[in-house]
Amino acid sequence: MTPARVVTIFGGSSPFFPALAESLARHAAGLPSLVVRLYGRDEGRLGVVGGFCSRMAQHRDTPHRYEWTTDLDRACEGLDLAVNLIRAGGLEGRHFDETAPLKWGIPGDETLGPGGLGSAVRGVRLAIDIGGAVRRHSPDARFMNLANPLGILVAALTDVLGPGVFGLCELPETTLIRVAELCGVSRSRIDFEYLGINHQGFFTKLAEGDRDLFPILLESLLASGDPWQLGFDPSLLTRLRMLPLSYLRLHFHPEREVAHAKKRARSRARELSALSDVILKDLARGSGEELPASLSGRAMPWHDLAVVPTIAACLGGAPTRQFVTKSWERGLGGLGAGAVLEVPAMVDEGALTPTFDRIPRSLPSEAREYLDAALRFEILARRAAEAPDLRSLEMALDACPMVGTAGSAKEIAREILAHCQPIRTPPGAHRHANTL
């Protein structure tokens, strides 16, 4: 009998995790037998989440056994695959990232700009601690990072663990699905070229055979009654002749995004925090026969589109084409070798291989200028996050494309330093473990 493969979920106490467990159960036929080990700091939440997932696996008769632990060493033993979901600082940290930059007229986000720097300060040292524990106990395990700021954490983890580290995001794929709908074509027929960094990428080609889809997309947007539905003024898209990912609206339309954020009754982080409290209560009393209805309050398309197919591929299942963030050995799109870039790639058990015919050989000047600046910011942000002080944070902010002249880098750096501190794994460690 083939032994079960071990997958550890760092951040496994999240009340949103059972949605991923349910996706694993639905796709069990394409997966080996699994031991899914949940790691978190809160024993009570781990017990609720792990207990529900165990009950669900039993109801569905899937070969997935759930364990949970607050012991980092135990979490890292005998791993085949590590999956990082940890939001360092929790949803309160995300609330800071979303709201603090607004006072300088800069949109807030946990990946881009000053908010991304605050998120990095909280999360980089924690990722390094976890990566070190994985290296000690399971040096051959692959490491999939889903946590933000994704590219910065991938760079930090790569330095600890080597080339087995990668990040994963479904946003480029959901963008292509939306383009297909707007253009009235099948997603499978779209020929594209894409290159970027996580949440900050550009589709430089969109076609169906010899037919350029870009004019059709613009025409569809203008006729739709909601021309901004992809996040951008169509006149900007006409000028760029590229389609940026939706998060780049924060860069291209900052005043509009700041105005929208200030009109919100509460931040997205606060909305998710309230929802997670409801979900946790529902999980505690749930039989496991089905997911609580409260979990539908957050759309999570990444599970079916990206995470579960990639877990299967890494464990010997069918290879899958995904959009992968990694430190690539060779230069891509005219960007330097070793840069942490998001590109279309084939994932299988043994390798991550860029899909070169889907990557532009060179970038249009505006995309190249933006990505050069964003990559420099991420490098400086990662360095600052390892040992944050006023000078290092200010240097990173001076390089940030979203800061520019909108505010004082020194003032923003002081704000980050006052509210964001590196989070570390707890000392000592053998505290609690449970298996069902």
Alpha helices in 86-112 (DSSP H): 90-99
> Would you say residue 431 has pLDDT above 50?
no
Query: What is the band of 427 on the pLDDT scale with cuts at 50, 70, 90?
Result: low
Say whether 114 sits in a helix, a strand or coil: helix
What is the pTM (predicted TM-score) of this model?
Answer: 0.96
Query: What is the band of 436 on the pLDDT scale with cuts at 50, 70, 90?
Result: very low
Task: Supply the mean pLDDT for the chain.
Answer: 95
Rounded-to-integer distance, Cα 43 and Cα 36, Å: 16
Q: Are 424 and 124 in contact (CB under 8 A)?
A: no
Question: Which pLDDT belongs to residue 2?
Answer: 80
Rounded-to-integer distance, Cα 133 and Cα 8, Å: 12
Question: Which pLDDT belongs to residue 429?
Answer: 47
Q: How distant is the alpha carbon of residue 215 from its chain centre?
A: 31
Query: What is the band of 434 on the pLDDT scale with cuts at 50, 70, 90?
Result: low
Half-sphere exposure for 27 (CA within 13 Å, toward CB): 21
What's the chain's Rg over C-alpha atoms? 21
Question: Which pLDDT belongs to residue 408?
Answer: 85
pLDDT tens-digit readout, 340-354: 999 999 999 989 999
> Would you say residue 245 has pLDDT above 60?
yes
DSSP for 360-388 reads -SS--HHHHHHHHHHHHHHHHHHHHHHS-
Question: Which pLDDT belongs to residue 428?
Answer: 45
Of the chain, the percentage scoring pLDDT greater than 70 comes to: 97
Query: What is the band of 433 on the pLDDT scale with cuts at 50, 70, 90?
Result: low
Rounded-to-integer distance, Cα 123 and Cα 422, Å: 6
Question: Which pLDDT belongs to residue 82?
Answer: 98
Q: Where are the beta strands (DSSP E) in 138-252?
A: 142-145, 165-168, 191-197, 200-208, 211-212, 243-244
| pLDDT, mean of residues 398-421 | 89
| pLDDT, mean of residues 299-326 | 97
Rounded-to-integer distance, Cα 211 and Cα 40, Å: 50
Rounded-to-integer distance, Cα 118 and Cα 110, Å: 8
Backbone φ/ψ region at 404: left (φ over 0), alpha (ψ -120 to 50), beta? left
pLDDT tens-digit readout, 64-103: 999 999 999 999 999 999 999 999 999 999 999 999 999 9
Point out which residues pair with 362 in neighbouring strands. Answer: none
Query: What is the band of 430 on the pLDDT scale with cuts at 50, 70, 90?
Result: very low
Query: 149 preceded by cis ω (within 30°)?
Result: yes
Query: What is the band of 174 on the pLDDT scale with cuts at 50, 70, 90?
Result: very high
pLDDT tens-digit readout, 106-159: 999 999 999 999 999 999 999 999 999 999 999 999 999 999 999 999 999 999
> Would you say residue 404 has pLDDT above 90?
no
Which class for 126: exposed (0-12), middle (13-18), buried (19 or more C-beta within 10 A)?
buried
